Structure 1
Amino acid sequence: MNIRNRNIIPFFLLFAAVFGVTIAVCVHLVSRAIEERFVSQVNDLARTISGFPMTEQYLLDRIRDAFNADVAVSDPATRKVLLTTLNDASRREFEGWLSRPKESSDHRRAAPFSTGGREYRVAFAETVFPIHGHSEGRKMRFSLLFPGEVIAAEQSRVIVPLLLASAAGVSSVAEESRVARRSRRGSVRAIQNPAAGRRRSRYRDRKTPAPGRMRSQSQ
């Protein structure tokens, strides 16, 4: 391995390490930003529908269709699901998940939940819903369960352009490095063999006529 390669390889290794860490950090930040956006959507929706009687299943179905997410309204005290678009098996699993406060009590982020072989991110807000059979003015927990494919689609929409821009930057750096190496090789050859450099210079001079000669030829 010559001196030039020994100098270049550590640079590229360092560049690759920094590039990889940067991409990992960006992916993490993008994922957190998407979760925060989902949480914000749930909070806004809960404030909008607060006070509406949640007695009709069609209302939950319309919310599910609008947000591409399943809906669950539960009692924070008993952790029982009162209304939901989930099937019976998923409903029972969701109630079991609600009984684990460490996983389901952070309202600032979308917590992971899985049922029936599907992964979800659950964002929730507590608001007042008049529900038949429950006293009015009591807070209920309104949750949206975003499927994993929805999260993945949002991540791809943001991350793929970032990866393409990063790849373009890497290609640009590699091309500039290649041009710099070619220029450096030419300079080294000229220093090591100045006679060859003079011969090439004289050859270029012979091919390029002087300005006076060009004028006389044109006349």
Structure 2
Amino acid sequence: MQNTKKETIGLLVIMKAESGKEQDLKNFLLGGLDLVNQEPLTMSWFAFQIDNNTFGIYDTFEVEEGRKAHLTGEVAKALLANAADLLENFNPDTDIQQVDVLASNHKNGLQNKGLLVTMKANKAKTTDLENFLNAGKQLVTDEAGTLSWYAIKIDATTYAIFDTFTDDPGRDAHLTGKVAEALMENAPVLLEDFKASAIQKIDILASK
């Protein structure tokens, strides 16, 4: 994956498996990759696992046409058709979040591990936080083990970082690197009630 994509928008979907359906949901997500590979306007697609029964999808697009095509495509149709059986309290209107991609950085490599960091901007600090996130794109360029890095805006004050790595050492290096250091240093000013627990380690199940 090269850093030549012009991703501007995306989707973030967090879902919980019904009790006893964890492996079925995991298999469903793994099977989604073949379908997504047939969507030329879906630039990046990641299926991931947060904990034993919490899973997610993050994908990106260059244009709204691509996002709409994906939302009416085979993966979305299959997800909605199987939601009642596989998912706990899933509401597509609120659980499928349309996001803006503020910045992204890519390198080639096998993506197995990841991080999902969700944060709430302090009032009147959204512009400062967006500037900080845009600056982070350059900092991760020097991190050989950071393969994909996205700064995303979920709503007016909610932001997230989604990034991927080949292995635990690459992820650990990022967590002790310049971006993480700068985030913790600036958190009291930029972020509302930010805690280390907001940094979630995830496993990448499949990616495009």
TM-score (norm 2): 0.23
Greater share of residues in helix = 1
TM-score (norm 1): 0.22
Greater share of residues in strand = 2
User: Of the two, which has the highest radius of gyration?
Assistant: 1
Higher normalized contact order (CA 8 Å, seq sep 6+, divided by chain length) = 2
